[in-house]
Amino acid sequence: MITLAEINAEFEELDDPTDRMTYLVEIGQTLPPLDDRLRTEANRVLGCQSMVWLVASERPGNPPTLIFTADSDAPMVRGLIAILLAVYSGKTPAEILAYPIEDLLARFKLRSFITPMRSNGLYSMIKRIREIGEQHAIGTSLPLVPIRSRPSSAMAELAAQLPPRGNAQPVPTRSKHDAALPLDVEAIRRDFPILATTLVEGYPLAYLDNGASTQRPKQVIDAVVEAYEHYYSNVHRGGHALAAESTVRYEAAREAVRGLINARSTTEIVFCLGTTAAINLVARSWGDANVRSGDEILLTELEHHSNIVPWQQLAARTGATIRWVPITDGFELDLAALDRLLSRRTKVVAVAAVSNVLGTINPVAEIIRRAHAVGAVVLVDAAQSVPHEPQDVRAWDADFLAFSGHKMLGPSGVGVLYGRENLLDAMPPFLGGGSMIRTVTLDGFTPADLPYKFEAGTPMIVPAIGLGKAVQYLQSVDMEKIRTHELVLTRLAHELLADVPGLRIIGPAPEKKGGIVSFAVEGVHPDDISKFLDLHGIAIRAGHHCAMPLHHRLGLSASCRASFYFYNTPAEVERLAAAVCDAQRVLKR
């Protein structure tokens, strides 16, 4: 097992992020594999999108020490484990609790690995080790002082195969593919302050994680600041000038959303916390009122967990059965299977307009038509479609539609449920309290009119105002041009990534998908690729993307996902492809 002294000496010599990543993979190879009998769910470190197992045992002594063994399916994560084992294994509980691991990782320039997030699990591993140390705490703390030694010859050999170390080289911002863009992307990018960020390693930010959340233009940021600085108050209740101004702006945002999706009336636009909250509202209110034992709920294999779990909860409450529409080997919904599954027992069909993993654009209007033919209601998860292309709920004949503000330039903490007015009117309120009532007596209450009966309590006033400004911005850019722009980037990504050895794109052809390109590289874990790209200024997502059933169907534990928006450039796509190619070369075992 490699020692902390050896690790410390190596990291002192490593300035380039590629070198540090390579070294993590190298020291990960020194870990002995964990016995298969110990790879149990009980020993798994939760919160890791890579698989991580950690086992502790006590070695007798005065005082006794703790011995840790661990393993992962991700080579880079195995390197992080090697560091933790070098730090903690063989130490007393007091030493474990006293060791300044944050300082060590900061010195190694790995501090970002211990943020409390699910991806690589280092934070969760440290937390688990410290919890075990607390359970066995005895004795006094003894400081650990890393001993310095010379770099290993193995690392020197690896380093010789890599580009020269040093600060980040200038990154091209222009591309020969710029001419194909329908938008003046340089002018657009000037509206987004964060896109001018230069990261710690000296690389300019290439933000390609828009499927998770988009960035905000200064117009939205300014609208939020203006609200708080000049006219903020609660809405609908007060009689003073600030309350009137806030109410006008809040309702103007509702009208902006109505126009964006072509709803009939603002009574059909309910503000809520986001897509997840909107789907839960429908499952709880409409579902509890209309679904019974023996009924069927129809979902698809490509759904986000937010469009799965609320329906599983409804099925558990009511005794209904969930049935699943499969996907084809071409990453599209099997519409023949849909027809076989639809019946008079089908009460609701819940489907994503665009898959957040595959990017597949589903034939929503056709699905709705077929579902309505058997009397079923349809909920459309439009989180990945409303921000990216024109949407028309009346043309679709949609019953319910849910989407989130933070995926379309707006603030976080606000989203929209569109519901057909007759459906919303018949649904009981989901939450009770202020704003959602007309009258309250000692004997009961009368709910408010639509949409307010579903907006209990003080609403998300300023986030909604910011969303309204985001809608205005999107419409000024033109939703048709946004779709065309993303298609140019997606085609380029498919073309360039196809040249990476062992890379498989997970999803259909660009013309059949949104601006999402998910992929897996043979022999390289997605978490490792994601962090490699991060150290080179490129933000993508790795993991199961809240779509575990889909990944199980695809035979994958995780994948990488690059997701584009209209402020991204061909040069950023070229950086992505080049960095993935470098990651494959550096990280493949």
Strand pairing report for 206-207 and 538-539? parallel
pLDDT for 113 equals: 67
pLDDT for 114 equals: 63
pLDDT for 149 equals: 32
pLDDT for 159 equals: 37
Nearest C-alpha neighbor of 217 from the set 34, 477, 512, 511: 477
How far apart CA 189 and CA 177 sit, in angstroms, is: 17
- Inter-residue contact 397 to 373 (CB < 8 Å): no
pLDDT for 120 equals: 54
> Quick one: pLDDT band at residue 489, thresholds 50, 70, 90?
very high
Count of beta carbons in the 10 Å neighbourhood of residue 187:
8
Strand pairing report for 415-419 and 269-272? antiparallel
117-141: average pLDDT? 71
CA angle 293, 297, 298 (to 5 degrees): 155
30-44: average pLDDT? 87
Please name the amino acid found at residue 21.
Answer: M
Question: What is the distance in angstroms between the CA of the first residue and the CA of the last residue of the chain?
Answer: 19
Count of beta carbons in the 10 Å neighbourhood of residue 560:
28
Strand pairing report for 437-441 and 444-447? antiparallel
pLDDT digits (tens, 9 = 90+) for 495-549: 999 999 999 999 999 999 999 999 999 999 998 899 899 989 999 999 999 999 9
Q: Which residue has the higher pLDDT, 120 or 489?
A: 489
332-355: average pLDDT? 98
Per cent of the chain over pLDDT 90 is 69
Count of beta carbons in the 10 Å neighbourhood of residue 219:
16
- Inter-residue contact 507 to 357 (CB < 8 Å): yes
> Quick one: pLDDT band at residue 173, thresholds 50, 70, 90?
confident
Cβ-Cβ contacts under 8 Å for 163 (sequence gap 6 or more): 16, 18
How far apart CA 72 and CA 77 sit, in angstroms, is: 6
Burial class (CB in 10 A: 0-12, 13-18, 19+), 55: middle
pLDDT for 109 equals: 82
How far apart CA 10 and CA 566 sit, in angstroms, is: 42
Per cent of the chain over pLDDT 70 is 92
Mean pLDDT of the chain: 90
Burial class (CB in 10 A: 0-12, 13-18, 19+), 512: middle
3 state SS of 123: helix
pLDDT digits (tens, 9 = 90+) for 449-478: 999 999 999 999 999 999 999 999 999 999
How far apart CA 542 and CA 437 sit, in angstroms, is: 44
How far apart CA 169 and CA 21 sit, in angstroms, is: 18
pLDDT digits (tens, 9 = 90+) for 541-576: 999 999 999 999 999 999 999 999 999 999 999 999
Nearest C-alpha neighbor of 396 from the set 374, 371, 366: 366
Provide the annotated active-site residues: 546
- φ/ψ bin of 556: left (φ > 0), alpha (ψ from -120 to 50), beta (otherwise): beta
CA distances from 417 to 11, 398, 467 (A): 51, 12, 14
Domains detected in the chain: 4-160 (3.90.1010.10), 176-215+479-587 (3.90.1150.10)
Q: Which residue has the higher pLDDT, 358 or 31?
A: 358
Count of beta carbons in the 10 Å neighbourhood of residue 26:
19
Whether 155 has a pLDDT exceeding 70, the answer reads no
pLDDT digits (tens, 9 = 90+) for 193-240: 999 999 877 899 999 999 999 999 999 999 999 999 999 999 998 889
